[in-house]
Structure 1
Amino acid sequence: MTTRSDSSNPDNALPRLLASIQGPDDLKKLQRDELPELAQEIRDVLISRLSVTGGHLGPNLGVVELSIALHYVFHSPEDKFTFDVSHQGYVHKMLTGRASEIHTIRTYQGLNGFLLRTESEHDCYGAGHAGTAVSSALGMASARDLAGKDFDVVAVAGDAAFTCGTTLEALNNISDATKKFICVLNDNEWSIDKNVGALARYFNDLQTSSTYSSVRVKTADILEKLGGSGARKFAHKIEQGAKNLLAPSVVFEEFGIRYFGPIDGHNVQLLVDTFEYLRDQEEPVILHIITEKGRGYTPALDNPGKFHGLGAYKIEDGSTAAASLPTYSEVFGRALTDFAKADEKITAITAAMPGGTKLDIFKKELNERYFDVGIAEEHAALFACGHACEKLRPFLTIYSTFMQRAYDMIIHDIALQELPVRMCMDRAGLSGDDGPTHHGLFDIGYLRHIPGIIHMQPKDEEEFVDMLWTMAQYDDGPTAIRYPRGAGVGAKPKAEPQLLTIGEAELVQQGTDVCLIGLGNMFEMAEQTRDILEAKGYSVTLINPRWIKPLDAKTISEQASNAKVVCTFEDHVLGNGFGASVIELLHDSNIDTQVERIGWPDAFVEHGKIDILRKLHGVTVENAVDKVLKHV
């Protein structure tokens, strides 16, 4: 099923139909019988271009016909489309004048891997987290109604987005907020990994149970008029596979939303006909479409989790280059699983990210104590609280950028009640190609002022496992650990992990001129800065702080008071970050040693390779040396 590709095209030339489209108006000039050919061209280009840059291939291959039909029927930017998460927005970008730039996706100064309002007038809403599309679209529809305008608003949400509390809150509000609204439920049974929970099972029932009279009357008859006998044949095919008689429209119609579907999300002619019909309805509607994540590319169909988002790959078989070192995520998954085999109180909880966090290792070997709650971080945090209340040892494993969604639960439920929930924040620090929605640059700031939380970051993989072991043994309150995307320095964990003393830093070496404090993965940069300064004749203190909270006040204060300048390093924004906490400590201790800081600016950092962005924003050894030399 692997398609042809244009990988031999060195100048990134586009195929015939796609090359003719500089915007949605050009798309509308095509004959309807040309649309399937356009869909094929788009798939070919996606498979070819993303093999070089990496990206969210699977989701975009699944929404090709949907994106074409939306732009063929509606009139962007006057009509508004919101995409849940928006990683499936590549086809939308291609149809709105950016096809010639698709080879730059996720590269520095190229197209962003998500939608950005600043990138195009056709991107009416930017997003990188799930659960935003329906609420934001409803707000646009309400604003339209208040202004007396008549444009259309379409929210496109995957089935996984319906596990988000915000999506359910929006559904509850639609019928009260507007009388004209279209929601597309793009049902492919996957988010990043296989969807879980009652709603996932419900949507599966919808795919296999269109025997209800309400569906036959409302949907099949209408679609036959629109799409001919083929539409009814598709509905009948689903009906033949019905497993039960649960009305598919019950949930939505209880919300006051008229349900249509399910229909074939890869039949572009049927989608066009259906949207033309729904566009004229003066009531909120939801269209349920069935799609295949990775459609048209066999490796992506065979491994949807991998091809949700990945780096460069070989077009022939979808293979990717093997990493020379295990990632922090892989070290985490293996270590936690091993700990849990010896401690039956340990549980693992994630929010739809078993593959990304490598809890799939735990799931495979200890499935009864593994819990994936879907894209529902707030619920995941509260669920972990319940485990802690019953004397279990829950490890709540969520990316740093997604843990933000559970902020109230961290304060009100975890910290206030002093519950020993262990918060493991993967992808802390810069996330490179994924850009500002995914950079984990704020967790120190949003955690360090909360009473009672112990927060840490390891300098390497060996220390990482020691910290995880220390967290597993600590039952007196909440703990948190941040660790970066990708591999570390190759430090092999001990055969038996070491229990660390909470709040005790590692004084690596002691000097008299400069005190360097390198947090976590930035310790290596502090080491390199030391080497340059020592080559210039300066005496350098080097500290691996380990603990963000509590700081080792004794060690840091003593070493800072004996130095002419302190320089901190962190993979985090400088505002309210680790360096800021050192400044506060020295101020409160009446130590007037100057502090310089290396970290990220007070800005949403763009996407690109980490080395490019570090150089651009001064997160470099060279900048650290220059800052230090001003004071010695």
Structure 2
Amino acid sequence: MEISPGILLQSINNPDDLKKLSREQLHQVCDELRQYIIDVVSVHGGHFAASLGVVELSVALHYVYNTPYDQLVWDVGHQAYGHKILTGRRDNFPSNRKYNGLSGFPKRSESNYDTFGVGHSSTSISAALGMAMAAKYKGEDRKSVAVIGDGSMTAGMAFEAMNHAGVADSDVLIILNDNCMSIDPNVGALKEYLTDISTSPTYNKVRDEVWNILGKLPIGKKFSRDMASKLEAGMKGMVSKSSNLFEALKLRYFGPIDGHNITKLVDTLKDLKDIPGPKLLHIVTVKGKGYALAEKDQTKWHAPGLFDKVTGEIFRKKIDSPQPPKYQDVFGHTIIELAEKNNLIMGVTPAMPSGSSLKFMMEKMPDRAFDVGICEQHAVTVSAGLATQGMRVFCNIYSSFMQRAFDQAVHDVAIQKLPVIFCLDRAGLVGEDGPTHHGCYDIPYFRCIPHMVISAPMNEQELRNLMYTAQLDSNTSPFVIRYPRGEGVMPEWKTTFEAIEIGKGRKLKDGKEVAILSFGHPGNFAQAAIRELRTEGIDPAHYDMRFVKPIDEALLHEVFSTYNKVITVEDGATVGGAGSAVLEFMSEHGYHAEVKRLGIPDRLVEHGTLKELHRECGYDAQGIAEAVRSMVKDRITVSAGSITMLG
């Protein structure tokens, strides 16, 4: 299906083309840009509501600033679709998030307009400040702008950056895009603070009037700015109690203004270009602006998949039989079952209650399940604090987000040997979100930490049993349970709880010549490969290891005493991963075998469907079967008078 942009948008191949238009034409550009995003995403998929909310801001920034010479940094990047379309990627936009297509996030290797690669929140102010400091040092008249949402502003890194920006004496503009949303509704005191500012703008109104009057007086720009600054200082105590947070950090605060008023945005940005030093512009927007359903339910329409843009029907696969649930939903419902039996259980997530499915517990047990905001470090340490008081805490974090809290996992959990239970959602490859979201590294970085238990369920029943085991009084260690994005394999998943011996794997089948050791969900790929191989007369053994640490040494002694060809399979980095743990065991105990490790290779894996990426990395069923064949390639099968070399 061919999707055509509007008549003005067709003429914009870069920001220079945008600048050729009159201010009056910008309203039409915004309408066409918003409609083009709706048309493409409805057919091809992707993030949706966030980009609709910043259409006017995207147009205004590229209209006013000299990009890419002026540095524009988007936080997270969910909202950067308009930016991409305006910067030479309009015609290729339908390939967004597809295999070998455009990235769903700003990416330096994709365009020089993407000044900083992003995918996780709260990095924009630090990056833009660094750019501004470099420009000052090199004597360049280069502007640096960071666009950050109020959800991302809750993270500690954003406050660290603002604290530095206020004293760095660099020309950086922070645009606070305030829509009361990240993916789920924002939480915490900052949300209430920003609401107070946006609903009580007395101070800002008075100050704007002072600046406007002084700017029109024939007294020189520098003198008028100095006088305005002194008047501002005198006004603060009289007319505002809520404007002090940013200005206490020595950031000049402007706003709040309507983020959907393109004329006001252009005028304001032009004025701010002439004001040196660190400053913050507060704009108020609506996530999903221009598409009524997205405005009404912003979480649902953050990334809805394919949909009918007219009726709003979101297309789902039609199914006639019971289907396996998503692993995240198994977690979400299982923690409630466990909490109903154990009143010490609590749940914590950093701003992902829907994505992790902790929302079910938050609705049913609001005093025992908490969204702490986009604050992974805080999520881990507050879990540790709860654990010191005897609580059994399930700290539910995406694997790639957990990287941000490595220090806390070491110092606040492991060193104190607190039994915090880390449920790592989206472990392994995640698909269309690409390398910023792949959960590749949790096994290597957790495996080197003393006291850590690291486990991976092969299916929904195993996930339930590992959760049950982790919360028992007999477990006194930090306990990692990693599971992938997407569906499991068991339509009838609600099984009876059974404790699992920590560090104990299981033999699924005996075999000949080759043993496959699988860790987690890829064990299902191994089973499919074995079914195919048996039709060819090849019969590998299969072991579900369950635990990477402590690894099942008795099981490994059996494997290496019986087989001299071993294949390990994991949905994680092969460098330092589960396969590496097997090699270390083999070396330490003097075994000699041919070992092939399958998993995520030592390179960045780009975006695509899970099926495409598993195939590329070679640990899908086909890849496992190919690895087994290569190990037995010297065996010749004679059949029906013909000779076929397997390999």
The two structures have a TM-score, normalised by structure 2, of: 0.91
Residue number in structure 2 paired with 1:94: 85
Per the alignment, residue 111 of structure 1 pairs with: 102
Does the residue aligned with 1:157 lie in a helix, a strand or coil? strand
* 1:498 partner SS: coil
2-side partners of 1:114 and 1:179: how far apart?
27
Counterpart for residue 269 of structure 1: 263
Task: Give the one of 297, 301, 309 matched to 1:315.
Answer: 309
Given that residues 175 and 280 in structure 2 are in contact (C-alpha distance below 8 angstroms), is that contact kept between their aligned partners in structure 1? Answer: yes
Of the structure 1 ranges 52-61 and 403-412, higher mean CA displacement relative to structure 2 is found in 52-61
- Aligned to 1:254, which of 238, 248, 252? 248
Q: Within the alignment, does 1:562 sit opposite 2:570 as a pair?
A: no
Partners of 2:151 and 2:442 in 1: how far apart? 25
CA offsets per residue over residues 248-286 of structure 1, 9 Å max, x none?
A: 320111111111000000000000000000000012111
Supply the distance in 2 between the matched residues of 1:437 and 1:24 (Cα, whole angstroms): 27
For residues 270 and 589 of structure 1, what CA distance do their matches in structure 2 show?
Answer: 72
Q: C-alpha separation between the residues in 1 aligned to 2:348 and 2:583?
A: 36
1:74 aligns with 2:73: no
Query: Are 1:580 and 2:571 counterparts?
Result: no
CA contact (8 A) 1:564 1:631 kept: no
Cα distance, 1:223–1:607 mapped onto 2, change above 3 Å: farther
> How do 1:337-376 and structure 2 match up within 5 A?
337-376=336-375
Give the conservation status (yes or no) of the 8 Å contact 1:209–1:245.
no
Q: Which runs of 5+ in 2 are unaligned?
A: 216-237, 318-322, 633-647
SS for the counterpart of 1:195 is: coil
TM-score (norm 1): 0.93
Residue 536 of structure 1, CA deviation: 2.7
For 1:118-517, list aligned pairs within 5 A: 118-212=109-203, 215-220=204-209, 222=211, 246-322=240-316, 324-474=323-473, 475-517=475-517
Larger C-alpha radius of gyration, 1 or 2? 2
CA deviation after TM superposition for structure 1 residue 222, in Å: 4.6
Moved more, 307-316 or 583-592: 307-316
Cα distance in 2, alignment partners of residues 224 and 565 from structure 1: 82
Offset, 1:67: 0.5
Choose 507-516 or 533-542, whichever is displaced more: 533-542
Structure 2 vs 1, CA of residues 519 and 321 (structure 1 numbering), >3 Å: closer, same or farther? Answer: farther
Q: Which amino acid aligns with 2:504?
A: E
Deviation, 1:490, is: 2.0
Distance 1:627 1:496 in 2: 36
What is the aligned-residue identity percentage? 40
Q: How does 1:10-25 map to 2 (within 5 A)?
A: 10-25=1-16
SS of residue in 2 equivalent to 1:184? strand
Partner of 1:600: 600
Q: Structure 1, unaligned stretches of length 5 or more?
A: 1-9, 227-243
Distance in 1 between the 2:364 and 2:388 partners? Answer: 25
Root-mean-square deviation (CA, aligned residues, Å) is 1.8
CA contact (8 A) 1:84 1:157 kept: yes
Query: How many angstroms does 1:130 deviate by?
Result: 0.6
Q: Which residue of 1 aligns with 2:32?
A: 41
Amino acid at match of 1:585: F
Are residues 574 and 61 of structure 1, via their aligned partners in 2, closer, same or farther at CA, if it must alter by over 3 Å? Answer: same
Measure the CA separation in 2 of the matches of 1:534 and 1:56: 43
- The 2-side partners of 1:184 and 1:132 are apart by 13
Distance 1:225 1:520, change over 3 A: farther
Q: Select 2:46's aligned residue among 52, 55, 69.
A: 55
Q: Which amino acid aligns with 2:207?
A: K
Structure 2 letter corresponding to 1:523: G
In 2: Cα distance, 1:11 partner to 1:313 partner: 16
Quote the offset at 1:491 in angstroms. 4.9
In the TM superposition, structure 1's runs of 4+ consecutive aligned residues that sit over 4 Å from their partners are 220-226
Aligned residues: 605
Distance in 2 (alpha carbons) for counterparts of 1:390 and 1:161: 30
Q: Distance in 2 between matches of 1:220 and 1:494?
A: 64
Given residue 485 of structure 1, which amino acid in structure 2 is its aligned partner? R
The aligned counterpart of 2:222 is: none
Shift in alpha-carbon separation, 1:222–1:313, aligned structure 2, 3 A: farther
Does 388-397 or 560-569 show the bigger shift? 560-569
SS for the counterpart of 1:306 is coil
Contact 1:300 1:318 in 2 (8 A): no
Give the residue type in structure 2 aligned to 1:102.
F
Deviations 1:302-323 (A, max 9, x none): 1111112232222234333446
1:196-249 CA distances to partner (integer Å, 9 max, x unpaired)? 11111101111111122xx233224557999xxxxxxxxxxxxxxxxx975332
Question: Alpha-carbon deviation of 1:362?
Answer: 0.4
